[in-house]
């Protein structure tokens, strides 16, 4: 009996681990796609701040690959998310009247039933992708 329980628990844990890892891989792919669509024109494909639009901006575009290094070795997920969704003002993103990505996501998802939740998910997916670019 103990042996069956052990194997049952082991199989369940293995299944959950597989699901979590495959889900994480899908999030990285989704995050990369969203990042390339919304962020790379300024921040560059590699996140180092050398996108095609960056030379025309008034403020130097930051290197997003050093966020963890510049935050004592901890990736600032919440701060990154609030920068992306507009709840934290970022000088380089322009005047407050300029559309912020959180608002853009909401407009693009106007037909979605859970628009706020989907917007939060997209924002987090971009932030998690940026975590993978850290040097």
pLDDT number for residue 1: 56
Average pLDDT over residues 33-45: 94
> What is the tens place of the pLDDT at every residue in 41-89?
999 999 999 999 989 888 888 999 999 999 999 999 999 998 888 887 6
Give residue-wise pLDDT tens across range 100-119.
Answer: 788 888 888 888 888 889 99
**Domains of the chain as residue ranges with CATH:** 2-132 (1.10.760)
Residue 35: predicted pLDDT: 96
66 touches 46 (CB < 8 A): no
Model pLDDT, residue 21: 39
How far apart, in whole angstroms, are the C-alpha atoms of residue 49 and residue 58? Answer: 13
Predicted local distance difference test score (pLDDT) of residue 26: 67
CA distance 7 to 32: 37
Cα(109)–Cα(106) distance, rounded to whole angstroms?
Answer: 5
Arithmetic mean of pLDDT, 5-19: 47
Instruction: Kindly state the average pLDDT of the residues 19-35.
Output: 71
Better pLDDT: 63 or 28: 63
Q: Which residues contact 77 (CB under 8 A, 6 or more apart)?
A: 124, 127, 128, 131
Q: What pTM was estimated for this model as a whole?
A: 0.74
pLDDT reported for residue 101? 83
In this predicted structure, the answer to whether residue 121 has a pLDDT above a threshold of 50 is: yes
Q: Are 50 and 44 in contact (CB under 8 A)?
A: yes
21 versus 9: which is more confidently predicted? 9
């Amino acid at each position: 009996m103990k042996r069956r329980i052990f194997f049952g628990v082991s199989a369940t844990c293995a299944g959950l681990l597989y699901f979590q890892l495959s889900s994480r891989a899908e999030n990285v792919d989704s995050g990369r796609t969203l990042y390339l669509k919304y962020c790379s024109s300024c921040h560059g494909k590699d996140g180092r701040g050398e996108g095609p639009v960056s030379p025309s901006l008034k403020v130097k575009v930051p290197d997003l690959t050093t966020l963890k290094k510049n935050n004592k070795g901890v990736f600032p997920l919440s701060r990154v998310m609030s920068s992306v969704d507009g709840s934290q003002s970022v000088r380089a993103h322009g005047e407050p009247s300029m559309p912020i990505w959180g608002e853009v996501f909401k407009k693009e998802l106007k037909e979605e039933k859970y628009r706020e939740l989907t917007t939060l998910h997209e924002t987090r997916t971009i932030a998690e992708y940026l975590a993978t670019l850290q040097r």
